[in-house]
Structure formats: structure tokens, C-alpha cells
Amino acid sequence: MTGKTQHEELLLEDLQTIRLNIEANVIRESFIETLTFNALGTISTFEDWGEGWTDVIAAPTGFKGQVMDISVHNITETFNLVAAGAIVEIGTAADPDAYAVSATLGAAAAATPASPVVTFTGYIPGGEDFLVTGTPSDHGTPAGRGTLSLTIAWIKE
């Protein structure tokens, strides 16, 4: 047992397959990758900002990454907030927003996509794990469920 959830195992397998296909076809100086954290495929749950969540992703070796876009779609539960709304952070355990942080998802309504402004705070180092975290709002009963898409530009180091 690796200590990873089924969701993490399937996501890592998919990423490895994509990266092997890229390497087999052409040696690239850069490429853009969109990661989707959702209920599609064999995974049956949306990301839940009411509870908060973290996924561990392995960066490709030899490339540094810059977060280009964060969007939330297929919203099935309206987000809520008091002063600080739900956000997406990309970083490490020691520094959750080391590489990027989204603006608040505010009170994004069900069936309405949200594309918050992304603040780039550093490059994701190649060959290392990084964390994608859905941080809940400060509401007494935080809520919000949906599909996260994260677009990263990988640049040869």
C-alpha cells in the first residue's frame, strides 16, 4: 500500500501515461498541461471546498512549471463566504501558496463556472511533488463543490 487514495493513484497513472506519450513522440522545450480534479472517469466525487482537500501531484522531471489558469466548473453546490472565501492554493506542505493562489471563489453559484484571478508566486520545481489544495471559506458552515481545472505551462529547465 502506497498510502495514496484511489483518486491519487488513478491521477498519477494518467499523468505518467500522458508524459510517456509526450516523451515518445517528441522532445519538447515546453508544453501546456491541464489537470482536472473532478467526478469524471472512474472517480465518483467532486472536490468539496466545504471540507477542504489536498491532492499530491508529481511535476515532470526536467521542466519547471508556471500556473497559467485555475477554473472551477460543474459546480454542484453553491460556495459561501463571510470575509474570506474558498480559494485554490498550489504549493508545498510548508508553504501552501508557494507557486500560485487563486482569488476567492466568492459565492459561485451552482451551474455557474468560476475563473478567479490567479496570482503567480513562483515556479513549480521539476521532478518534485507539489500540492493542490482547496481551502474552505471562513463561513461557519463552508460549502462549495465542483470540478477544478488547473493549467500549467511546463518549461524546460
- The b/e string for 119-138 (b: 16+ C-beta within 10 A; e otherwise) is eeebbbbbeeebbbbbbbbe
Which pLDDT score is estimated for 29?
A: 84
Interatomic CA distance for residues 83 and 47, integer angstroms: 22
Task: For 6-156, give the CATH class.
Answer: mainly beta
Grid cell locating 26: 517528441
What is this structure's pTM?
0.77
Q: Enumerate the domain spans of the chain.
A: 6-156
**Could you give the C-alpha distances from 47 to 52, 57, 117, 129, in angstroms and in order?**
8, 15, 19, 20
Sign of the four-CA dihedral 12, 5, 10, 98: negative
Q: What digits encode the pLDDT tens for the residues 81-137?
A: 778 889 999 999 999 999 999 988 888 887 788 888 899 999 999 999 999 999 998
Residue 87 and residue 79 in contact, taking contact as beta carbons nearer than 8 Å: no
